[in-house]
Structure 1
Amino acid sequence: MPTATSPQHARIRTLEGYHEAYHLSIHHPNEFWAAVAEPFTWRRKWDTVMESDMAAGETTWFAGARLNITENCLDRHLPARGNKLALIYEPNDTKERHLRLTYRELHQRVCQFANVLLNNGVEKGDVVCLYMPMIPELSIAVLACARIGAVHSVIFAGFSATAIADRVNDAQATLVITSDGLNRGAKQIPVKRVVDEALETCPSVRKVVVVEHLGWPVQMEEERDVWYHEEAADVAKTCPAEEMKAEDPLFILYTSGSTGKPKGVVHTTAGYMVWADYTFRNVFQVEENDVFWCTADIGWVTGHTYLLYGALLAGSTTLMFEGIPTYPDAGRFWEVIDKHSVSIFYTAPTAIRALMAEPLDNVLSYSLDSLRVIGSVGEPINEEAWHWYNEHVGKGRCPLVDTWWQTETGGIMISALAGITPSVPARAGLPLPGVWPVLLRQDGTEIEGNNEEGYLAIKQAWPGIIRTTWGDHNRAVQTYFAPYPGYYFTGDGARRDENGLYRIIGRVDDVINVSGHRFGTAEIENAINQNPNVVESAVVAYPHEVKGQGIYAYIICREGACKGEADKPRVEASIIETVVAEIGKIARPDKIQLVTGLPKTRSGKIMRRILRKVAEGETSNLGDVSTLLDPAVVDEIIQGAK
């Protein structure tokens, strides 16, 4: 077994090394994490590694330590990597030039932006909200906030004015950073106009910094709004990094709550830093010359942890993409990979399934020879998508990591380590060293052994664990720690197979109990998606007078598979046959509705709450649907259900 000072567990290279590191992390966590944290730049080392009371939702990491995360993302790399590419920016329009910034150039731009923020009254501890397109200034501004000790809260640039206002007011942000507009495929969106509407009801905001992107004229409110390029013209390219305590908040990221009010998930400085770097290096098995591309928007936690912080902490080259996978055609992802020699590619099953529906020539037209590792994030990837991704993108030679984690976990929790631990279709895999997952019965007792399923919970704190929900710690406790005292409750159901690999089977509230048989929605959807007529599906429960709960399936068909009403019975019968073949008769859908789209958040997650209400016939109170990717699809689904 490696000792506490051994580097073996900090960078895992073999299956034997994984098992040794895992044993050490569970039985001697303080020694394990002290060694992992050792290489970072600390202004002052910690007094204790971890103090945790999971029942109370109270966890502290590296208490007493002083640091600044941007010194670890940028400054410490300058002597050896100053001229190495840090950030590649690929614009939405293929006719526009891409941008490449070295670590030295990125450091200077972050310092410039930090000085602009200071000149506009931002102080340590202030909250800064960002509502911006995926352009370099977004990454730079996030790091600039961290540089001066401001708490950043990125809001995806697609949310409505109402959604922005809710988040700004909850965070009591003093400054907002935005742009004149943004490109998204063939569309151009007036971002500043949306912000102006939102801020009509946000009295805490004193300043708005506007980045010029499209060159559009915008309304500038005197004394409140300033142009970034004007403010940055005369500021210095150096800015001292503010010394932060280990548990000072780094960022707030809002997620949807069951009450309808967004939850401000808080991550703190030192623990999040260690977790982001550790998971990035080990899951993707990163090498010095890799070009890493995470397709997620920085408005979501995946963009925070892997596009930005994890990649820069590790001294890697990270790619930032403004566009969408189907613009100007469905080969855009693959064109970008070849253009920039991307070696690690990390995207969502939603994107993969959308591209599967397009002609295969869109993929086969590109070599993809630079790829070394491919990954999936956001939801469990179904088997058909896994095999398509593995065969046509990874060419059967790239390890595929299907990563399970949450906004609240800060980083990847269960996943294959690329090329090291097993990668099996429809299974997230083994937990990372430092993660102690358990399966619980409804009464909270642990389920031992393999070939079992239950509620997925985490038994021991890890550095990236949620610290609180902004302004309401009790909400964090009640949501994540009170349901099963002593555990972090994920809200997911999971199955542990005969080899100890974990398969995520859907949210606990997405488990359907059909005549006493429990089925995860993901399990049924995976079966439906095997059908050649199907592009994507979503399954929910609805009240059934005989079975207790019935299965209601919403299906998006492949183009040409269902040309009219006459085709529907054939397609529906085919889908039922597939489910019966994959799972059994007990799992056959009771109702099938063919739809052209599903209600999704802008991060690609299906809002099953809406689908459940439609299935139950309760469509009078669906809540706010304005933040969906396409709100109009809800009306279409309601009409189809009738």
Structure 2
Amino acid sequence: MSLPQKFKAWEGLYKRWAEDPEGFWREFVERTSHLIYWAKKPEKIFEWQPPEPFKWFVGGYTNAGYSAVDYKTGLLGDKVAYIYLNPEAGAERKVTYGELAALVYKFSAAMRATGVKKGDTILVYMPNSIEAVAAILAAARIGAVSTTVFAGFSPKAVADRIELVEPKIVFTQDHSLRRGRKIPLKANIDEALKISAWRPSLVVVKKTEEGGDVPMERGRDMWLEEFLEMGKGHSAHPEFVESNEPLFVLPTSGTTAKPKPVVHVHGGYQVWIVYGALLVYGLSANDLIFNTSDIGWIVGQSYIVFAPLIMGATSILFDGAIDYPKPDLFWEVVEKYKPTLIWTSPTAARLLMRYGTNLARRHDLSSVTRVVTAGEVLNPEVWRWLYEDVFRRRVPVIDHWWQTELAGPTIGYYYALVSGMPHGLEHMEIKPGSAGVPLPGVEVEVVDERGNPAPPGHKGTLVIKRPHPGMTPTLWRDHQRYLNDYWGRYEGKMVYYTGDAAHMDEDGYIWFAGRADEVIKIAGHRIGTIEVESALVSHPAVAEAAVVGVPDPLRGEAIAAFVVLRPGWQPTEGLKKDLIEHVRKTFGPIAVFAGVEFVNMLPKTRSGKIMRRVLKRMWTGEPLGDLSTIEDEASIEEVKEAVSKMKFIKTAES
């Protein structure tokens, strides 16, 4: 890849990797040996004989749980690892590296006492909590494989995941709180285990006063205290595993089809999340991280559980909604605990933007040195609000791109560079709306529908031309599905199809337009959903928007838009017309609308991604498909009603 002057800070890394990929990664393993522990150094960096799974750092023995816990305790024992916050419950708990290690050792011994061994699986159905983190880390330390399920999924969705991974133990808690509602997690698991034929043991964490009133099934269920007591006298020693052995299985969030059980492995996963932490986030042991994600998603696994501990940083472990019980709760947390790095989603940023700038400016935000978002494209208007209005051009606001399948940053902006290489706290030119450029070690192409390279500025599908260390090598117990769903041929070689529509500009920046199957085709023009949504959000009345392409007999497709208004704006027919004209002026006259409707909420996955396929299927009357990952079922009913009201809107070119 030829890089213009503005990328010179990464040029040495690109060149070194391009000239000797294996030497590049071998050197990185050596340079990060104080962060990632290797009981035995890798014998070979990369091995791949398609269609077999590729392997990274072959012959190396390590353990992600050991790197995160044991390897840090001697040096950082008294340092705070986590500040647990649950504002609804009024809970705050600080846990040091030493205290976390002691708890993880107890979990490790208790797992062994209950028969969990290397290669066995456990499942965690809990919100963000110290106990959930300890279970994940303990499983890793003894060579077991964890699956974390977002603590809000329905019993049927949980049952599906239990049958998928067949865990020996399921960890849950009695209840959780969400926006004033009590979520009966133990009852959900009870119902899931009635649906599933699999029979695991069940460990329950008591979080509420009435926890003891929760029904417990004799011979199957036990309280956490009973479970930990069983571990007394059993070994808590770590199990070092070959680099390519599984660390955890994480189903995708389900914006497209039925979730896929993504596998991440000990060696490549550790290397990639540390690499991204250094290059994109500038993460160090001096950081206090406020990451609003959940441990049920890849962001939570990588940048709440594993990477911050491996880096020796402190994290706020936040359990709750960022705007409940008060709309400025997020900013209040920033002022009180003084994080240096905010890691959040575009969805959360749009929510905060709805409440206005004044709410943010009432609080001292001076501790923050950078803001990072991912999950969906950060609309330019929202980026400008964070960068200019909230942080007054003082700190970089960094969008970037990756997937559950990719473990960590893959397209991004540099913030700080690897120690020992060109370095310094600097950041590259940010183009609002673009996810940045491929990280050194990542080779991409944008290809058209025929599989040919798309010229700069032309939309296509982003492909990754060779595996990077963080890329999932397979799906759990279904490698053929992995090959079928992700891999194709390009220039005679196998390449990874991301499924995301994008274009590359003349400078090498990548601009994402949504999922490839969500691109709207109007009279031969390919329009990205993100482009139209960003145009809508740039109107002062709009807080959020989702658009899909719907059948149109003349043009092939037209745009159906669903809009959430900011406070103070009223839904009117006049405003609909204003929004359409605004988009046509901002984006272009090729934006032909089938309809615009106002809603109070959009159907999203529990990780905050808009479920556009659901919107489209509502319009066409097709079955809605898998809804196990939806955040709020009420949004489905609301949008159904909105669809019933829509009618084709005549425009100048209609």
TM-score interval, smaller chain? over 0.9
How far residue 483 of structure 1 moved from its aligned partner, in angstroms, is 6.3
Decide whether the 8 Å contact of 2:487 with 2:494 is kept in 1.
yes
Alignment-derived partner of residue 5 in structure 1: none
Deviation of 1:361 after TM superposition, in Å, equals 2.9
Q: Structure 1's 258 and 305: CA in aligned 2 closer, same or farther, altered over 3 A?
A: closer
Q: Secondary structure, in 3 states, of the residue corresponding to 2:128?
A: coil
Please say if residues 615 and 641 of structure 1, whose CA atoms lie closer than 8 Å, have aligned partners that are also in contact. Answer: yes
Task: Choose the corresponding residue for 2:396, options 356, 377, 399.
Answer: 399
Within a 5 Å distance, the mapping from 1:23-42 to structure 2 comes to 23-38=15-30, 39=33, 40-42=36-38
1:635 aligns to 2:637 (yes or no): yes
Amino acid at match of 2:627: V
Residue in 2 aligned with 1:108? 102
Runs of 4+ in 1 over 6 A off after TM superposition: none
1:232-287 residue CA offsets vs partner (Å, 9 max, x unmatched): 24745972111211111100001256885431111111000111111112211123
C-alpha distance in 1 between matches for 2:52 and 2:381: 39
1:8-34 Cα shifts (integer Å, max 9, x gaps):
xxxxxx954411101222331101111
Q: Which moved more, 1:517-526 or 1:233-242?
A: 233-242
Q: 1:24-57, CA deviations, whole angstroms, 9 ceiling, x for partnerless residues?
A: 223311011111112132111111101135x636
User: Counterpart of 1:490?
Assistant: 498
In the alignment, the residues of structure 2 paired with residue 292 and residue 258 of structure 1 have an alpha-carbon distance, to the nearest angstrom, of 27
Q: Would you say the 8 A contact 1:253–1:264 is kept in 2? A: yes
In structure 2, how many angstroms separate the alpha carbons of the residues matched to 1:42 and 1:623?
Answer: 44
Question: Deviation per CA, 1:496-550, whole angstroms, max 9, x where unpaired?
Answer: 1222111111111111110011100001111111111111111111111111111
Match of 1:78 in 2: 73
Relative to 1, partners in 2 of residues 1:626 and 1:15: Cα closer, same or farther, differing over 3 Å? closer
The 5-angstrom pairing of residues 195-274 of structure 1 reads 195-215=189-209, 216=211, 217-233=213-229, 235=231, 239-256=236-253, 260-274=257-271
Q: Mapping of 1:128-527 within 5 angstroms?
A: 128-215=122-209, 216=211, 217-233=213-229, 235=231, 239-256=236-253, 260-418=257-415, 419-447=426-454, 450-482=456-488, 484=490, 486-527=494-535
Once residues 387 and 505 of structure 2 are traced to their aligned partners in structure 1, the CA distance between those partners, rounded to angstroms, is 22
Q: Map residues 59-74 of structure 1 onto 2, 5 A cutoff.
A: 59-74=54-69
Question: Which amino acid counterpart does residue 521 of structure 1 have in structure 2?
Answer: T
Aligned-partner SS, 2:215: coil
Question: Amino acid of the residue matched to residue 472 of structure 1?
Answer: D
Q: CA deviation at 1:397?
A: 1.1
User: Secondary structure at the residue paired with 1:266?
Assistant: strand
Determine if the alignment matches structure 1 residue 543 to structure 2 residue 545: no
Contact 2:487 2:496 survives alignment (8 Å) = yes
CA contact (8 A) 2:89 2:177 kept: no
Q: 1:95 aligned to 2:90?
A: yes
Does the C-alpha gap of structure 1 residues 257 and 597 become closer, same or farther in structure 2, counting only changes over 3 Å? closer
- For residues 582 and 170 of structure 1, do their structure 2 counterparts lie closer, same or farther at Cα, with a shift above 3 Å needed? same
SS at match of 1:554: strand
Offset of 1:478 from its aligned partner?
A: 0.7
Kept after mapping to 2: 8 A contact 1:405/1:412: yes
Q: CA deviation at 1:94?
A: 6.8
Q: Is the contact made by 1:111 and 1:236 (CA closer than 8 Å) also made in structure 2? A: no
* Structure 2 spans left out of the alignment, 5+ residues: 1-5, 416-425, 645-654
State how far apart, in whole Å, the 2-side matches of 1:297 and 1:35 are: 33
Deviation per CA, 1:355-398, whole angstroms, max 9, x where unpaired?
A: 11114332111111100010111000101111111124433111
The CA deviation string for residues 193-226 of structure 1, in whole angstroms up to 9 with x for no partner, is 0000001133333311111111322111111111
Unaligned runs of 5+ in 1: 1-13
- Closer, same or farther in 2 for the Cα pair 1:512/1:57, shift >3 Å? farther
Identity, % of aligned positions: 36
Q: Distance in 2 between matches of 1:261 and 1:197?
A: 21
Aligned residue pairs: how many? 620
Could you tell me the TM-score, scaled by structure 2's length?
0.91
Q: What is the alpha-carbon root mean square deviation over aligned residues?
A: 1.9
Could you tell me the TM-score, scaled by structure 1's length? 0.93
Matched letter for residue 269 of structure 1: H
